[in-house]
Chain A
Amino acid sequence: MASLRKVDNFRWEMPLYYKPGMRVPGMVYASERMLDSILQDESLDQVANVAFLPGIVGRSMAMPDIHWGYGFPIGGVAATRVSDGVVSPGGVGYDINCGVRLLRTDLVREDLHGRLPALMERLFRNVPSGVGSQGRLKVAKGDIAGLLTEGARWAVRHGFGTSEDLEATEDGGELGGADPDAVSDRAMMRGLPQAGSLGSGNHFVEVQAITDIYDAAAASTMGITCVGQVLVLIHTGSRGLGHQVCTDYLKTMGRAVLKYGIALPDRQLACAPVESNEGRQYLAAMRCAANFAWCNRQHVAHWVRDAFQEVFGRSWEMLGMQQVYDVAHNIAKIEMHVVNGTAVSLCVHRKGATRAFPPGHGALCARYAAMGQPVLIPGDMGRYSYIAVGTARAMDETFGSTCHGAGRLLSRNAARSATRGGDVEQELRQRGIIVRTDDVPALAEESSQAYKDVADVVNVVHGAGLCRKVARAEPLGVVKG
Chain B
Amino acid sequence: MQTRPFRVVGHTADIAVVVSGDSLKQLLENAALALYYLTIDKPLVGSIETRRVEIDSIDDAALLIDWLNELIYLLFVDRLACWDFEFDDIGDGGAVAHCHAARLSPDTRLKREIKAATYHTNLLSYSDGGLVARVVFDV
Contacts and interface: CB of A to CB of B under 8 A. Distances in A.
Interface of A: 41, 43, 67-71, 74, 93-95, 130-132, 186, 189-190, 199-201, 240, 243-244, 246-247, 250-251, 254-255, 258, 265-268, 270, 408-414, 438, 442
Interface of B: 8, 10-15, 57-58, 61-62, 66, 69, 73, 76-77, 109-113, 115-116, 118-121, 123, 136, 138-139
A255 B57 CA distance: 9
A408 B12 contact: yes
Contact of B76 (A190, A255, A412): A190
A94 B77 contact: no
Given A93-B138, A411-B10, A412-B139, 19 more contacts: A67-B13, A68-B11, A70-B136, A71-B118, A71-B119, A74-B13, A94-B116, A186-B73, A186-B77, A200-B112, A243-B138, A246-B116, A251-B66, A255-B58, A258-B58, A267-B61, A268-B120, A408-B12, A410-B12
A3 B112 CA distance: 38
Secondary structure call for the B interface = loop
B13 A266 contact: no
14 contacts: A70-B119, A94-B116, A94-B138, A95-B115, A189-B77, A190-B73, A190-B76, A243-B138, A254-B57, A255-B58, A267-B62, A268-B119, A409-B12, A412-B14
Contacts of B110: 131-132
B81 to A, nearest CB: 13
Secondary structure call for the A interface = mixed
Contacts of A71: 118-120
A199 B113 contact: yes
A241 to B, nearest CB: 11
Contact of B12 (A68, A199, A442): A68
A380 to B, nearest CB: 14
B119 A254 contact: yes
A69 B12 CA distance: 8
Given A131-B109, A131-B110, A201-B139, A411 B118 contact: no
Contacts of B8: 413
A267 B121 contact: yes
B76 A132 contact: yes
Contacts of B136: 70
Nearest to B109: A131
B113 A200 contact: yes
A454 to B, nearest CB: 16
Contacts of A265: 121
A381 B122 CA distance: 36
Given A186-B73, A258-B58, A132 B113 contact: yes
Given A201-B139, A240-B76, A244-B73, A70 B118 contact: yes
